């Protein structure tokens, strides 16, 4: 497990620099900002992206921690774990993890939520009324879409990662129009999702809030937000892979069953 440990430390250290390089190259004329020796991980990420406001450094610290991972069963956490179980090296396994973030049900939900909220403000103005918001939510649902940033595969209550971001926003950006909208959504959306009768968790998750904080401090390139999710996930991914190697966990494989097993199962279920 020691080479894995070394590789993971290397990965964790380099991913922010690579991500910042991509950001600076795409959005800031390629002017690269070297890391700052005296700054911590999250602070340095903000710094290398080009942000110096101490509050933005705090946002990035918060962001990196809450996106690192929770229980590993989510798409990106699990995808990385699966690929690493074949003894693929941490760099290649991490690419699988990051690819898992590409879907709107997972890593793109933060972008979708922010763009969705910006669209509401564009269409209804900053002082959107409760009725307008209800109509907008129903319009979204009736067009076959989900409400981004709501629901969860496992949680059955308000996501604590939403709550800590809300606490930060209440303290530092209470008048931000997008924050006011996300607060209003917290009152309006859950009863509507409950009305659908099928949504297991009608409460807000981490993704409905993260874009608002980044946007407020000037990281307005929404399509880049998921990259920061990926940087953060390197921490959770690495800790899992190091433990997997240390414990010598075997190749991971979903259980498969025969047609006979399926037939018997269905007969029993129907009986
Ligand atoms: C996260 C998510 C993928 C979990 O999916 P899940 O485990 O299948 O959730 P549920 O068991 O509650 O889903 C049951 C039904 O409710 C729907 N549902 C769940 N969350 C919903 C939402 N936010 N808006 C509308 N419908 C939703 C599902 O699409 C599913 O409908 P279907 O049976 O017609 O396919 C889902 O809640 C979702 O798509 N949320 C929006 C995207 C998002 O925020 N992702 C980030 C999660 S951290």
Task: Give the model confidence (pLDDT) of 185-234 as tens digits.
Answer: 999 999 999 999 999 999 999 999 999 999 999 999 999 999 999 999 99
Domain 111-208 has CATH 3.30.1600.10: no
Please report, for the chain, the start and end positions of each structural domain, with discontinuous segments joined by +. 2-105+221-247, 111-208
Question: How much is the pLDDT for 249?
Answer: 95
Residue 206 CB partners (closer than 8 Å, separation 6+): 66, 67, 110, 149, 159, 161, 162, 165
* Nearest one of 145, 144, 121, 142 to 133, comparing CA atoms: 121
Q: What is the mean pLDDT of the chain?
A: 97
Q: What is the DSSP letter of 105?
A: T
How many angstroms separate the alpha carbon of residue 149 from the centre of ligand 1? 10
Which amino acid residue places its CA nearest to atom 8 of ligand 1? 153
Instruction: Give the other-Cβ count within 10 Å of 166's Cβ.
Output: 20
Q: What is the pLDDT of residues 84-139, one digit of tens each?
A: 999 999 999 999 999 999 999 999 999 999 999 999 999 999 999 999 999 999 99
- Is the pLDDT score of 71 beyond 90? no
Cα(19)–Cα(156) distance, rounded to whole angstroms?
33
> For the residues of 52-85, what is the DSSP string, one character each?
--HHHHHHHHHHHHHTS-SSS-SHHHHHHHHHHT
Instruction: Tell whether ligand 1 has an atom less than 6 A from the beta carbon of residue 207.
Output: yes
Domain 2-105+221-247 has CATH 3.40.50.150: no
How many angstroms separate the alpha carbon of residue 187 from the centre of ligand 1? 18
Instruction: Tell whether ligand 1 has an atom less than 6 A from the beta carbon of residue 105.
Output: yes
Residue 75 CB partners (closer than 8 Å, separation 6+): 100, 101, 103, 105, 106, 107
């Amino acid at each position: 497990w020691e080479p894995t440990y070394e590789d993971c430390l290397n990965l964790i250290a380099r991913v922010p620099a690579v991500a910042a390089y991509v950001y600076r190259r795409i959005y800031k004329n390629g002017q690269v900002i070297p890391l700052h020796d005296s700054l911590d991980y999250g602070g340095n990420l903000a710094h290398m992206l080009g942000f110096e406001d101490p509050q933005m450094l705090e946002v990035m610290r918060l962001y990196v921690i809450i996106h690192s991972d929770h229980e590993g069963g989510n798409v990106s956490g699990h995808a990385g774990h699966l690929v690493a179980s074949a003894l693929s090296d941490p760099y290649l396994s991490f690419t699988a993890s990051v690819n898992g973030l590409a879907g709107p049900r997972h890593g793109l939900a933060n972008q979708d939520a922010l763009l969705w909220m910006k669209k509401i403000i564009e269409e209804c103005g900053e002082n959107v009324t409760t009725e307008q918001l209800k109509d907008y939510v129903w319009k979204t649902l009736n067009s076959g879409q989900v409400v981004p940033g709501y629901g969860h595969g496992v949680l059955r209550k308000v996501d604590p990662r939403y709550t800590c971001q809300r606490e930060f926003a209440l303290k530092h950006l209470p008048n931000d129009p997008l924050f006011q909208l996300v607060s209003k959504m917290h009152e309006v959306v859950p009863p509507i999702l409950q009305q659908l009768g099928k949504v297991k968790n009608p409460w807000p998750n981490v993704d409905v809030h993260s874009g608002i904080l980044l946007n407020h401090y000037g990281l307005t390139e929404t399509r880049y937000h998921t990259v920061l999710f990926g940087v953060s996930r390197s921490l959770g991914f690495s800790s899992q892979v190091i433990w997997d190697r240390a414990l010598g966990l075997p190749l991971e494989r979903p259980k498969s069953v025969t047609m006979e097993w399926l037939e018997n199962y269905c007969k029993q279920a129907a009986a």
